[in-house]
Amino acid sequence: MIVDVINKKRLGKELSYSEIDKFFNGYLDGEIKDYQMSAMLMAICINGMTDEEVFALTKVFIDSGDVLDFEGIIDGMVDKHSTGGIGDKTTLIIGPIVASCGVPVVKMSGRGLGYTGGTIDKLESIPGYRTNLQDDEIIKQIKDIGLVVTGQTGDLAPMDKAIYALRDVTGTVSSIPLIASSIMSKKIAGGAEKILIDIKVGNGALLQTKKDANELSRLMIEIGKLYQREVKTIISDMNTPLGTSIGNALEVLESIDILKGKETDNNLYDLCVDLSATMISMGKGIDKNEALKEVYESLNKGRAYQKFLELVKAQGGDIDGVKVSKKVKYIKSDTTGIVNKINALELGKLSVALGAGRASKEDKIDFEVGIKLHKKVGDVAKKGEVLATIYYNKEFRMPELETIFDIS
Ligand code: URA
Look at residues 259, 291, 320 and tell me which one is the last residue of a structural domain.
Answer: 320
- Residues framing ligand 1 (Cβ under 6 A): 83-84, 164, 178-179, 182-183, 206
DSSP 276-287: HHHHHHHHHT--
Same domain, 349 and 271: no
Same domain, 228 and 350: no
CATH number at residue 381: 3.90.1170.30
Predicted local confidence at residue 169, as pLDDT = 83
Atom 1 of ligand 1 has which residue's CA nearest to it? 83
Instruction: Compute the distance from residue 182 Cα to the ligand 1 centre, in Å.
Output: 6
Predicted local confidence at residue 153, as pLDDT = 76
> Whole-angstrom Cα distance, residue 61 to residue 79?
19
- What range defines the domain where residue 403 resides? 324-407
CATH number at residue 38: 1.20.970.10
Same domain, 242 and 221: yes
Instruction: Compute the distance from residue 22 Cα to the ligand 1 centre, in Å.
Output: 22
Residue 67 lies in a domain: no
Based on the residue annotation, tell me whether 186 is a catalytic residue of this protein: yes
Same domain, 13 and 153: no
Same domain, 136 and 22: no
What confidence tier does 361 reach under pLDDT thresholds 50, 70, 90? low
Interacting residues of 185 by C-beta distance below 8 A, sequence separation 6+: 58, 61, 62, 157, 160
Same domain, 333 and 251: no
Catalytic residue among 22, 107, 122, 186: 186
Based on the residue annotation, tell me whether 130 is a catalytic residue of this protein: no
Predicted local confidence at residue 113, as pLDDT = 65
> Counting atoms of ligand 1 from 1, which one is nearest the CA of 173?
6
Same domain, 155 and 254: yes
What confidence tier does 135 reach under pLDDT thresholds 50, 70, 90? confident
Predicted local confidence at residue 9, as pLDDT = 98
The SS3 of residue 128 is coil
Same domain, 205 and 165: yes
Residue 70 lies in a domain: no
Based on the residue annotation, tell me whether 329 is a catalytic residue of this protein: no
Domain count across the chain: 3
Same domain, 295 and 363: no
Over the range 356-370, which residues count as b (16 or more CB within 10 Å of their CB) and which as e? bbbeeeeeebbbbbb
Instruction: Compute the distance from residue 242 Cα to the ligand 1 centre, in Å.
Output: 19
> Whole-angstrom Cα distance, residue 246 to residue 265?
17
66 to each of 60, 152, 157, how far by Cα in Å? 12, 11, 7
Residue 53 lies in a domain: no
What confidence tier does 36 reach under pLDDT thresholds 50, 70, 90? very high
End-to-end CA distance of the chain: 59
Number of neighbours of residue 260 by Cβ within 10 angstroms: 13
Residue 82 lies in a domain: yes
Q: What is the pTM of this model?
A: 0.92
Predicted local confidence at residue 299, as pLDDT = 97
Same domain, 221 and 143: yes
| Model pLDDT for residues 185-240, shown as the tens digit of each residue | 999 998 889 999 999 999 888 899 999 999 999 999 999 999 999 999 999 999 99
Predicted local confidence at residue 168, as pLDDT = 81
Based on the residue annotation, tell me whether 167 is a catalytic residue of this protein: yes
Instruction: Compute the distance from residue 200 Cα to the ligand 1 centre, in Å.
Output: 11
Atom 3 of ligand 1 has which residue's CA nearest to it? 183
> What does pLDDT average to over the chain?
94
Residue 55 lies in a domain: no
DSSP 28-57: HHTSS-HHHHHHHHHHHHHH---HHHHHHH
Average pLDDT over residues 9-13: 98
Residue 35 lies in a domain: yes
Residue 90 lies in a domain: yes
Residue 209 lies in a domain: yes
Atom 7 of ligand 1 has which residue's CA nearest to it? 179
Does the pLDDT value for residue 331 go beyond 80? yes
Average pLDDT over residues 325-354: 96
Same domain, 224 and 107: yes
Same domain, 241 and 333: no
Radius of gyration for the alpha carbons in the chain, expressed in angstroms and rounded: 21
126 to each of 70, 144, 230, 250, 320, how far by Cα in Å? 28, 21, 33, 11, 8
Predicted local confidence at residue 165, as pLDDT = 83
